[in-house]
Structure 1
């Protein structure tokens, strides 16, 4: 330990000179983190050594060797005369600000980018050398992006990469079982698109570790991963060398709050200086002071202007703390856990978001008001141009006129409904646990209700401006009070009675019951939505017919 401390002190003394040297090579001034991280990972003392110089006696062969490496994008120099030596059997951390060329360097090392000038050797040979396994089975690469197929399950993903690397089915299964346990992955048959962000990062890491590569390159591997798994990453590195790339630089207290005030961040998490000791006292001692309670607490400051993001952050923080407690205390974790346990939901998912709640009502609202917009001006324009009077003189009845508009507009609405369903079910992947026929019929009935209401407006109003104002004037109250944006139970009581009488309130509730609960017409909440919609259809059609008859 004394020797290591002396080595770190010596490295710290030379950090300013190293930083100047790195600035000259890369053209980036902000390289302090890149310089000081090298002695921590026991790398070479001087990266700008003679390219032909041999390694010190007793040092292992180099896994990565860069000499005078240059890479440019047009006139922009990203790497300039970079010299780097990474011995085998080491973990090497590369730290630097965004845009300084870290990812470009990694791509040059794995052979997906060619350097403009200089030399790079990986595991003894240049990248993409014929017959060399880089890129290939010898290197495991986890990019900054997730780079996963959302349509695959975890098993499909690992099997896919196993076949790429030439593993047998038996070898793939063995590695898969190990990685699922090591990375604490969900069930192997879980779809990638249904995983959380942290779980997807772990699956991506598993794909990089699958073939047990000699060289492991990780680009920001701990983003979205809890601290316990981060420690496992460091302590378990089966490859001969692990090359880590980080871009998240810690901020000071003032910088973090400035970021929130400037709208750059949604929250700040603060840990006191003696957080660990205070937290331990809180857990083990029966009675502690207020100072210990406060010092052993995680302090969170949030920007609550976006309620959905704030709720998501609060939920994730609670889950992360619960995981931490369960890992550290094991069977004693109940001592600091809330005495509340949320079991698997009877309907829906634990990860249900606001979009899932809003969508059924939004679909009905879009269908309803598209229909209103198509028909609100129908009779207004025909009356203005004299066509309505001419038809009446020719013997066409009011009912026939109204039904002709109804069926012609229904065809247009049907096309819009088909496109709407294709997007919400196939593109946005919203769940539908019930009958698709009931979903379609209810949406079509809402479209007919919109057409009927548009005919009432068109029959009662003579000019276009007043017809448009009537349509827009009814849109917003209906959107707010129909349980589309927030539940009807949250509407104040005087307005709740009005809400119950609107044409979309019960219909939205019925559509949610069909799509998310899988209910049918035997349930009161479902058939009530159909009954109310049919009632409004009949009322609007009769009213439009009466108004037309009176005006003719």
Structure 2
């Protein structure tokens, strides 16, 4: 009867770029045995195991695990038939000892009673820390023991351990080996273990000696010692290394005999490989424990929730950061500039500060007379717009503007009041010189355009108000002071709508988008870098399940963000919403959800946090420039304008303005197009994440 083989590797070749990791490698692991894969760091042991468990693929050659290729329907990988302990710790730092046991126990189909029983057993066997001790607070040796325990917890049919005893004391290593011998003999469990400690594999059923990507020998330890007439396995390994250095390896000499330096014969029977290769077809699997998808998904939710709740920086970010951002926006944007200075050159009146010098308007029977009206204008301008500083002449005042001491200069001519009287009473016959003298001349520093436009608008509004008062004092109609154009009450919005009101919808959506993206950008990368992603996938967890569990937990964060934004902007800041407030809330949430999906895309596209954050920061500035917040989309070139319409937060911002300022319902095209575009981006980001996540898991 042919012995069943748990793992069969044939003619395996693996490269990283141009670097050859191993070449034409053959390995056979028999069922119910311990196979020790030995070799120094960098020889390819970890890469070989990652190919066995399906985390990586061979460039050529074949692998059979428990009767099938990894990932195929007949294989035990992925699934609970395999227990996998990677070389890295591969545990969530926020896990407690109990949390790690419950997570790996549940995804492998154990009920809570079984998990609790086995946790007590392994805690005693491996001398684990207390149940509530967090992984991130453990020493390296303690972390490795917990990692080993959770690989053993569900009594897998095949146990793959990558250097589980590194850093452990000899007594504990001996204890672990005794336990492995016991489970292979009593429960027919197969153990494939790599280690640096060559001598500890003396109790293995078979060892494979690996060096520089080559399997130098594959034999029972005692047979290898006898063949090379050595007392220790390390001596045999050194002799095999010497043979390899002379360019003769066992793999290169299949079917032939080569004498080593000691006169012994190295021989590998090729027929044995052929017979073992056929054996996988007759493999009879141990009855597989059914794993409930719902239970597995609950384990993922618990894991992600634990990570979030125990990462206090993330909690602060979720609750406090939106408050800070909205608070800074409210305080920093939209208020009138303060502490401005404007120069005054008044050739009509030397000093307007006198109590009697407020400008005079009086009527006689024939006409209305003006006197020192420059002071009247200056008193009404007062310091609410800018602090007035008097200068003797225009050149000195202009020099002060050039030296950044002033934001502008106001100039009144010597006969300003008289010329203004002529302009009013004799408009048709007034000379150009009188018309020029009746003007208030303003020279502004438009290098700071926003400050310049602010002063310009405020001075113009105040001038019209003072001029209307003068017309009343003259018993004339105040409408004479109105310019020939009149802006009536706007159809939508308010006449005094400031920049903060305009920016608020776009800012709310952009903030929701990038808060969510910032969080999710790190999630998958963290899982991958900690090794939890691959370890979970090997145990049968699907990529879609991991993503969905992250989405549900992070949706709670988005709801918190949405609630904070809504609370601060509307009730506290007092922004009036003329449309359905529920539509506003849903649109902000959807934009946050879109940001969440975008962060996942970045997380699967980049390998580390630094690259992902560079990608997020670069795209952030591009989106801000294109979403119509800094400048209207209508001012962009046509090609760029159409591209900007596809930006996730652009049309949704138009929709939000329509709801807030115009009172539109979702039935209006201007509104529902924003919802449709946002949902479209969510679906696109989700599809990219799933396909990219699958490709990285394979």
Q: Which residue of 1 aligns with 2:454?
A: 312
Residues 497 and 365 (structure 1), Cα distance of their counterparts in 2 relative to 1, 3 Å cut? same
**In the alignment, which of 601, 613, 617 is matched to residue 456 of structure 1?**
601
Is 1:407 aligned with 2:555? no
Matched residue SS, 2:442: strand
Matched residue SS, 1:376: helix
Q: Which residue of 2 aligns with 1:396?
A: 541
Cα drift, residue 258 of structure 1:
4.9
Is 1:267 aligned with 2:408? yes
Q: CA–CA distance in 1 between the matches of 2:564 and 2:406?
A: 37
1:70-121 Cα distance to aligned partner (Å, 9 max, x none): xxxxxxxxxxxxxxxxxxxxxxxxxxxxxxxxxxxxxxxxxxxxxxxxxxxx
Cα drift, residue 514 of structure 1:
1.1
Q: Which residue of 1 aligns with 2:521?
A: 376
Q: CA–CA distance in 2 between the matches of 1:249 and 1:297?
A: 20
Q: Which residue of 1 aligns with 2:428?
A: 286
Residues 256 and 507 (structure 1), Cα distance of their counterparts in 2 relative to 1, 3 Å cut? same
Residues 263 and 230 (structure 1), Cα distance of their counterparts in 2 relative to 1, 3 Å cut? closer
Is 1:535 aligned with 2:685? no
Mark the structure with the bigger radius of gyration.
2
Equivalent residue runs for 1:14-413 within 5 Å: 227=376, 250-253=390-393, 256-283=397-424, 284-330=426-472, 331=476, 337-413=482-558
CA contact (8 A) 2:471 2:481 kept: no
**In the alignment, which of 603, 617, 633 is matched to residue 488 of structure 1?**
633
Q: CA–CA distance in 2 between the matches of 1:336 and 1:510?
A: 39
Matched residue SS, 1:300: strand
Q: CA–CA distance in 2 between the matches of 1:255 and 1:285?
A: 33
Tell me: higher relative CO, structure 1 or 2? Use CA pairs within 8 A at least 6 residues apart. Answer: 2
Matched residue SS, 2:682: helix
5+ residue gaps, structure 2, are 1-334, 338-354, 360-374, 381-386
1:377-405 Cα distance to aligned partner (Å, 9 max, x none): 21112112211111111211111111111
Q: CA–CA distance in 2 between the matches of 1:547 and 1:318?
A: 59
**In the alignment, which of 633, 641, 654 is matched to residue 509 of structure 1?**
654
Q: CA–CA distance in 1 between the matches of 2:461 and 2:389?
A: 24
CA contact (8 A) 1:483 1:505 kept: yes
Q: Which residue of 2 aligns with 1:24?
A: none
CA contact (8 A) 1:432 1:516 kept: yes
CA contact (8 A) 2:513 2:594 kept: yes
Cα drift, residue 447 of structure 1:
0.5
Aligned-residue Cα RMSD (Å) equals 3.1
Cα drift, residue 262 of structure 1:
4.0
CA contact (8 A) 2:468 2:481 kept: no
TM-score (norm 2): 0.43
How many pairs were matched up? 320
Q: CA–CA distance in 1 between the matches of 2:609 and 2:602?
A: 10
Give the ranges of 4+ consecutive aligned residues of structure 1 lying more than 6 Å apart after TM superposition.
228-231
**In the alignment, which of 452, 477, 484 is matched to residue 622 of structure 2?**
477
5+ residue gaps, structure 1, are 1-194, 198-217, 232-246
Q: CA–CA distance in 2 between the matches of 1:304 and 1:397?
A: 60
Matched residue SS, 1:377: helix
Q: CA–CA distance in 2 between the matches of 1:299 and 1:514?
A: 43
CA contact (8 A) 2:633 2:641 kept: yes
Q: CA–CA distance in 2 between the matches of 1:360 and 1:273?
A: 50
